[in-house]
Structures are given as C-alpha cells and as structure tokens.
Amino acid sequence: MSDQPDHPQLYLVTPPAFDVETFPATLDALLAVAPVACIRLSVAASDEAEITRAADAIREVAHRHDIAVVIDRHAKLAARLGLDGVHLPEGARGIRKLRDELGPDAIIGAACGASRHDGMTAAEAGADYIAFGPVGDSPLGSGERADAELFAWWTEMIEVPVVAEGALTPEFVTLIAPFTDFFAFGAELWSAPDPVAALKALIKPLGL
C-alpha cells in the first residue's frame, strides 16, 4: 500500500467462495479496468487446503500485476502462502503481536466499523490502514453506517490511510472520494450480472 495519489486507489475484495479455475480470468478482466492497489482474499472456507488453493489462484494473478494481497483473518497463513499481509475484521485486537510475528514489511489492516475510537486504537497499535464501513445501507453487522463526516474527520486528523467499503454506490463514491485513500469493492461486483460493468460504473465518478 504505497504513498497516496491525489485520487482514491482501488482495493478489491474476493467473493467468499469462487472457482479457482475460472475466477482468475474474471479477476484479470477487472484488473484491466483500472489500476488496483490491493486485493483481499476473503473466503469463507475454514479448510486450510481450500484456502491455500484460493490463495494460490489469487496470488498468481495479483503478483503478475504487481498488486499486494492480504488475507482476511488467517494471519498465520499470510507468510506461509506468500501473501503480503492480513486484514483484521476486529479492529486493533492482536495488531502489536502480529507486527512482531509478521515483521515490519507486512501489511496489517484493521476493520473498525464506524468507530473513531476503534480506528484510532488500531492506528496507534500500528495498523497500516483502517477500513470503515459499511458506507451504504446494509443488513450486515450492527447496521451503523460510516458516513462522510467520519471520513472527513479521519483524513483531517489522522495520517494512517483509510479505506471506505460496504454497500458502495456511485453516489457514495462521489460523496466520499475527497476524504478516503481507498475504495474497497467486493459484494457490489459479485452480486452484479457483469462485475466488469459494475466496477466501471462504481469508479466512473473518480475519472479512472
């Protein structure tokens, strides 16, 4: 996750399950739309062999495009699978210990819902980025939204990069673009009949 350009960068989140034979082609097509800074492997599988197959498929495509890959939750598998870091879904929990285990070059991101306090705690613990969301209406989690005011405050007060994710639409992208470093797109793409067309529509406000 490099120094931030003037416009938000793109961050893709994999579907919870995918065909390792066919999904790489879909991912390649998405990566042809616009530059992507990071991919999060976010599979629902609990079987290590299945996670490994998914990681192998994603890593091959991502590293061919010089894109970082982080894994959701399974921190101990990150280095073993040749990935670049981990995304923690529960804020600051375990960040300091993981930094010692994974080393200074590993990417450690933390999801902090819509909580300024959780975001600041994770940043102070050494997170490389903080993810706030959902931005739009979602039945998942508590239902509390991360609004534009939160992103504006964070960008003004905190130097750690911030990621906007969850129920994003072109309208929310337009609203939050001035205040975020990354937009993470996942379910918005996989729920669409044509993920490539969905990504193009979502990033149109960014002029990419």
Q: What is the pLDDT of residue 138?
A: 86
**Within a domain: 2:** no
Q: How many domains does the chain divide into?
A: 1
Query: Residue 208: what pLDDT?
Result: 82
Give the pLDDT means over successive 10-residue stretches in the chain (208 positions).
71 98 98 98 96 97 96 95 96 92 96 97 97 91 90 98 98 98 98 98 95
- What is the pTM assigned to this prediction? 0.95
Give the type of residue at 98.
L
- Whether 1 maps to a domain, the answer reads no
Asked if residue 15 belongs to a domain, the reply is: yes
Alpha helices (H) in the chain, listed in sequence order: 23-31, 48-64, 75-78, 95-102, 116-125, 148-157, 170-176, 187-190, 195-203
Residue among 167, 168, 162, 139 nearest 150 (CA): 162
Q: How far apart (Å, rounded) are the C-alpha atoms in residues 40 and 84?
A: 10
In a domain, residue 177? The reply is: yes
pLDDT at residue number 2: 45
Which residue in the block uniquely carries the two structure tokens 């492997």? 41
Select from 154, 151, 195, 203 the least CA-distant residue to 176.
Answer: 151
Q: Could you tell me if 130 and 113 are in contact, meaning their C-beta atoms sit under 8 angstroms apart?
A: no
The answer as to whether 112 is a domain residue is yes
Q: Helix, strand, coil: what percent of the chain each, to 5?
A: 40, 20, 40
The rounded distance, in Å, linking the Cα atoms of 55 and 74 is: 11
Domain, as residue range, for 86: 9-206
Nearest of 49, 59, 75, 1 to residue 27 by alpha carbon: 59
Which domain CATH number covers 44?
3.20.20.70
